[in-house]
Amino acid sequence: MLKTINILNKRAKFDYEIIETYTAGIVLTGTEIKSIRLGKANITEGFCEFNNGELFAINTQIDEYLYGNQFNHKAKSERKLLLNKKELKKLERAIETKGLTIIPLKLFTNEKGIAKLDIGLCRGKKTYDKRESLKEQDVKRDIDRIKKEFK
């Protein structure tokens, strides 16, 4: 029984309006997957970029494996993402024409122990949009508090 790992990008929902989400595989080395299974990764500053028709995750940090030796990986490097050709073309067209961006939302391991990355096609929020989402969170918290008192 493998332990599933969920590493979230909590800033993504606050800073961006998520239009579509995709699940992509990641090309990793042996020490990178070991670090992910230990939960030593950070995707909050990451973004995705196309290079020669291939999608890469940039600025995602996977810490060096503690027990790795000279074969250890670099903490911040480009990591290739694996998607269908149709999905790649759709994402590339959306980025070129509409001025959208691709942001990593969640790094997780599936039931087989393979690392996957949920990415989202996003549009940046303005400051007034952020204020509205903060207001919605406060109202929801207040309603939950009131419901809890009457139970």
Residue 72 has pLDDT above 50, yes or no: yes
- Which pLDDT score is estimated for 77? 84
Q: Checking DSSP bridges between strand 79-82 and strand 54-58, what pairing results, if any?
A: antiparallel
pLDDT in tens, 77-134: 888 999 999 999 999 999 988 879 999 999 999 888 889 999 999 988 887 777 888 8
- Percentage helix, strand, coil for the chain under 3-state DSSP, each rounded to 5: 30, 35, 35
Q: Does pTM top 0.75 for this prediction?
A: yes
Pair 44, 11: CB distance under 8 Å: yes
**pLDDT average, residue stretch 36-62:** 90
- Which domains can be identified in the chain, with CATH numbers? 6-125 (2.40.280.10)
- Which pLDDT score is estimated for 1? 46
Pick the closest to residue 48 from 105, 8, 130 (CA basis): 105
DSSP state of 58: E
